[in-house]
Amino acid sequence: STTGNSFLTVDVPASEVFTREDLSPAQQMSGRIAEDFMRTEVLPHEQKLYDKDWRLTRELLLKAGELDLLRVDIPEAYGGLGLDKVSSAYVGEKIGIMPSFAGSLGAHTTIGTLPIVYFGNEEQKARYLPRLASGEWIAAYALTEPGSGSDALAARTKATLSADGTHYLLNGQKMWTTNGGFADIFTIFAKVDGERFTAFLVERDHGVVSGREEPKLGLDGSSTTALMLENVRVPVGNVLGSVGLGHKVAFNILNLGRLKLGTRNIGSAKHSLTRATRYAVERHQFGRAIAEFGMIKQKLGEMAVRCYVGDAMVYRTLGDVDRALEAVAEKDSERVLKTIEEFAVECSINKVWTSEALAFVVDESLQVYGGYGYSKEFPAERAYRDARITRIYEGTNEINRLIIPLRLLKDAAVAQLLSSEGAERMRAAQVGSLAPEEKLFVAERDLLARCKQLVVFTLKHARDVYGDALPNEQEVLGHIADITIETYALESTLLRTEKMVLARGEQNTGIAIDITRVYFSDAADRMQHWAKQVVAALSDTCDCDSLFAEVEHFTRFTTFNTVAARRRIADSVIKEGRYYL
Query: Which residues are identified as catalytic?
Result: 394
Q: Are 59 and 49 in contact (CB under 8 A)?
A: no
Distance CA 331, CA 350 (A): 28
- Spatial CB neighbours of 117, under 8 Å, sequence gap ≥ 6: 73, 74, 75, 125, 129, 333
Distance CA 182, CA 225 (A): 10
DSSP per residue over 380-401, as a string?
HHHHHHHHGGGGTSSS-HHHHH
The crossing angle, in degrees rounded to 10, of helices 246-282 and 379-387 is 160
Rounded to the nearest angstrom, the gap between the alpha carbon of residue 42 and the centroid of all alpha carbons in its chain is 24
Distance CA 447, CA 468 (A): 31
Which among 1, 13, 4, 11 is positioned nearest to 435, based on CA atoms?
13
Cα angle, residue 277 at apex, residues 271 and 282 outer, rounded to 5°: 130
Which among 191, 115, 112 is positioned nearest to 153, based on CA atoms?
191
- Classify residue 191 as exposed, middle or buried by CB count within 10 Å of its CB (0-12, 13-18, 19+): buried
Which among 258, 302, 265 is positioned nearest to 110, based on CA atoms?
258
DSSP per residue over 535-576, as a string?
HHHTTTTS-HHHHHHHHHHHH------HHHHHHHHHHHHHHH
Distance CA 557, CA 555 (A): 6
Work out whether the CA dihedral 8, 9, 15, 19 comes out positive or negative.
Answer: negative
Distance CA 266, CA 114 (A): 23
User: Would you tell me how many other CB atoms lie within 10 Å of the CB of residue 381?
Assistant: 18
Q: Are 15 and 499 in contact (CB under 8 A)?
A: yes
Q: Are 73 and 110 in contact (CB under 8 A)?
A: yes
- Classify residue 268 as exposed, middle or buried by CB count within 10 Å of its CB (0-12, 13-18, 19+): buried
Cα angle, residue 216 at apex, residues 215 and 218 outer, rounded to 5°: 145
> What single DSSP character describes residue 434?
P
Number of residues that this document lists for the chain: 581
Distance CA 466, CA 488 (A): 25
Which among 148, 136, 114 is positioned nearest to 183, based on CA atoms?
136
CA distances from residue 135 to 70, 128, 208, 357 in whole angstroms, order as listed: 7, 11, 20, 32
